[in-house]
Amino acid sequence: MTENPAKQREFTPREEAVGFLLWDARRALFREFSQKFAQHGVSNGVFPVLRILWDDDELTQSEIARRGLMTGPTIVGIVAQLEAQKLVTRIPCPDDSRKRKIKLTEEGLRLKAIVLPIAEDVHQKALNGITDQEAELLKRLLRRIRANFIGNREDNS
């Protein structure tokens, strides 16, 4: 009878595993964002797209997907949801009549003044007790971890 290879190998304890700690921290952040954003009809799924458009309005779906590191089908669903909420509209692309750009509506623009301060409050809560130097180191390390899996693409968000 051969021995199970998993029994021979030492595994990193859960609380020491970077993957678990990242997952758990992300889960806590998402829970906080969900609770705060839900009051304004914004879900965690649509927030990244709104954030991209608040920084640079009138982008094609493919431009948004690239900046948000999302797949085509994902962005299609999110844009449809934002359109149903009357937060965005599709307008003709002046360079290519086959394409449409996604543009924020007045309501979508108005939401920026409400949601971004909430996001900033959650960001500050996440960094509570962490010095500016530690926060910069954390961001550099997280970018390095991300690059280990997806390369050095910029997400612009």
What percentage of the chain carries pLDDT values higher than 70?
91
| φ, ψ of residue 68 in degrees (nearest 5) | -95, 5
DSSP code, position 123: H
Question: According to the model, what pLDDT value does residue 16 have?
Answer: 86
63-96 pLDDT tens trace: 999 999 898 889 999 999 999 999 999 999 888 8
pTM to 2 decimals?
Answer: 0.78
Q: What is the set of domains in the chain, with CATH numbers?
A: 31-150 (1.10.10.10)
d(CA 97, CA 119): 36
